[in-house]
Amino acid sequence: MNLAGKTALITGGSRGIGRAIAIEFARRGADVALVGRDVAALRESAEACANARPGATAEFFEGDVTDRATMERIVDEVVKRFGRLDCAVANAGQSVDALLLRLKPETLDHLLEVNLKSAFHLCSAVAKPMMKQRAGAIVLMTSIVGMTGNPGQAAYAASKAGLIGLSKSLAKELGSRNIRVNAVAPGLIETAMTEKMPVAAREFLIKQAALGRAGKPEDVSGVVAFLCSDAAGYITGQTIVVDGGILM
């Protein structure tokens, strides 16, 4: 799982799971490029990456991940800055709960833009330099909710389920160029997003977990690093569940 000499681009790397992934990549030897709109939080993540390993290089790029032209520009800048692009992680995402009959069209549009279409834009942009290199690894961050569904989360679940289909389709499209595409589906992970969950819902999920606890961002980051490493060189089109045993 040595990532020395590799360059990784991560969306949604300003906090939570995204920041943990960025630190994991830096610790394992990769140069890291972070993308998002919260400049202050991105700067904190970049500093944490730089502190994770002596000599680590981490830079952040401000931009809207839902805008295709912006993502193409940022990817071009990353390739010019680092000379190559080996790994890309589509981690940007949001959750808005609403029952179907109360779901506003603008809420649906927003979740699809942030959770699903942004991944399309990232994959389209990074595929170009990866195809030239004839090598690369892409990881899409989905959710166990995208596999099971959940009352009140139809829009969120649909957007996350779409990422699973996207990962499998791109694995077949890009495999001949030695580009691997996988998805990671976390369960209940301790982040700012899950802190807003009702206590009863959190306790229910923890009871369902075979390990009897909520996960930490670091429980996910190691899996993502593995999928982007040469150790996973024959793994593509898969969805790796990281949920402590909730779905068993």
Q: What is the pLDDT of residues 139-165, one digit of tens each?
A: 999 999 999 999 999 999 999 999 999
156 catalytic? Reply is: yes
CA 158 and chain centroid, separation: 16
**Mean of all residue pLDDT scores within the chain:** 96
Vertex 179, ends 178 and 180: CA angle to 5°? 115
Query: Which of the residues 25, 60, 61, 156 is marked catalytic?
Result: 156
> Model's pTM, two decimal places?
0.96
Specify burial of residue 230 (Cβ count, 10 A radius: 0-12, 13-18, 19+). exposed
Whether 198 has a pLDDT exceeding 90, the answer reads: no
The one-character DSSP state at 113 is I
pLDDT at 76: 98
